[in-house]
Chains A and B, each alone.
Chain A
Amino acid sequence: QVQLVESGGGLVKPGGSLRLSCAASGFTFSDYYMSWIRQAPGKGLEWVSYISSSGSTIYYADSVKGRFTISRDNAKNSLYLQMNSLRAEDTAVYYCATCGGDCYFFVYWGQGTLVTVSS
């Protein structure tokens, strides 16, 4: 069955960096567009970034553009999110998710990894 397992979250100081990973299994990872979506504590969902199956097309939310970098390694069935210049408002649970169709919606989600930005 499809499994997405995020890792790499933790406590980081403002201005610091963190790299999240998402290990995929149970499906042909290289066939699917992937996204990162986050949820601040007690808040709603916010899309962060999207990457095409080959990695050639990438989009970011304005709130993270220039600070976050999404990438993937299809040989390792893994998705990544490099987060630099972190701010308190980046504190959230970060989910990786598979896209459905031409990436109009999100089909499978991981359980998430918590990123806390605090001094």
Chain B
Amino acid sequence: EIVLTQSPATLSLSPGERATLSCRASQSVSSYLAWYQQKPGQAPRLLIYDASNRATGIPARFSGSGSGTDFTLTISSLEPEDFAVYYCQQRSNWWGFTFGPGTKVDIK
């Protein structure tokens, strides 16, 4: 099973600052990595798929990069609505899908 590790667990930033979130896989997942945003009481929302493609309707301040085992989600300038939990997710084979434990971005 491929394990995803996210860091940091919590990121405390102010609106307007840049957020850099990391996701590391225990073995290569090629570019088959997605990122989701989840706010309290809401379902997750797809942000990025295939490591670097923004989903429909996602603002340009969200960007994804990486391949193999190391991936990054960057929010270029935090808006008030961006404070949430972010999860990475992979499916690289038929052992199934796995999610990372999440990074909480909260207001400093």
Contact = CB atoms under 8 A, between A and B. Distances in A.
B65 interface: no
Contacts of B94: 59
B41 to A, nearest CB: 9
7 contacts: A35-B97, A44-B87, A47-B99, A106-B34, A108-B46, A110-B43, A112-B43
B43 A105 contact: no
A107 interface: yes
Nearest to A47: B97
A46 B94 CA distance: 15
B82 interface: no
B52 interface: no
A100 B96 contact: no
Describe A's contact surface by its main secondary structure: strand
Interface centre among A35, A45, A47 (most CB of B within 10 A): A45
Given A95-B43, A104-B91, A47 B98 contact: yes
Contacts of A106: 34, 36, 44, 46, 89
Contacts of A111: 42-43
A43 to B, nearest CB: 9
